[in-house]
Every structure is written in structure tokens, then in C-alpha cells.
Structure 1
Amino acid sequence: MLKVTEAAERLGLSISTLNKWRCFGTGPRFVKMGSAVFYRAEDLDAFVAAQVRTSTWAGANDNVPGKREAA
């Protein structure tokens, strides 16, 4: 299991981004034990695989971490 700092480094993201995604429930799956948060490598890989697109237009609004629906 990876600590938040290790997961952020692996994904090339900031720790803050992962923290925000956890709050919104939009990022990769994570494991919480008490107050400690960890990420499994397979969950990070699955999250990255789910972000693959063939165009900047196709599905541009699907699976966007932190995206909010229009009211």
C-alpha cells in the first residue's frame, strides 16, 4: 500500500489534489485505517485506465474528477 505522498508522486499529482478528490469522492479508491489513508497500486492503475480518452471532445465531461453537474 502507498501513502498519500507516494500515490501523488506515482500519479504526478499534488497531495492537495488527492485530498480534494477524496472529499468529493471523485478520485481513485483508497483505504482508510483509523485516520491513516493509503492507496493500493492496483486502484491507482484502474483509475488511470478509466481516464483514457480518444479525443479531447469525446466524453470530455465524463469521469472528470471534481466535476459538478449543472443545476
Structure 2
Amino acid sequence: MADKLLLIKDVAERLGRSPAQVSWMIHRGTAPKSAMIAGRRMFRESDVEAFIEAAFAEAS
């Protein structure tokens, strides 16, 4: 089954950030992997989960 695609607002909610903060993370290159699809920034759910897991791994 294909990953669910998430919008910036969905990722912001998942990370506890505002959409503007996620946009800034994209600009800085510190956001989860994403792509432009049909003119919208999209994230694969698995990439967002991997981003969160990596943050916890670095904190240990």
C-alpha cells in the first residue's frame, strides 16, 4: 500500500509546529523529505515518521 501524502498543515500538526515554522524548516533544509506534486508541497507519511524517529535517536 502506498504511503499517505500529507500537506504542510498536516505535518505541522504532527510536529506540533505552525505551518509557517514547517515552511521555514523546508527553506533551511531541516524538514522531513518532501516534493512538489501538482503545485503543492507534499510529504510521505513514512518520511515524517522517519524524521521523528531520527530526532529521538539523535537525542539518546
**Alpha-carbon separation, structure 1, partners of 2:10 and 2:46:** 14
Secondary structure of the equivalent of 1:51? Answer: helix
* Alignment match of 2:20 (pick from 16, 20, 26): 16
Larger C-alpha radius of gyration, 1 or 2? 1
Higher helix share: 2
Partner AA of 1:6 in structure 2: D
Secondary structure of the equivalent of 1:13? Answer: coil
So what's the TM-score if we normalise by structure 2?
A: 0.78
Tell me how many residue pairs correspond in the alignment. Answer: 54
- Alignment gaps of 5+ in structure 1: 55-71
Bigger relative CO (Cα 8 Å, ≥ 6 apart): 2
Aligned residues with identical type, % of pairs: 28
Off by >3 Å, runs of 4+ in structure 1? none
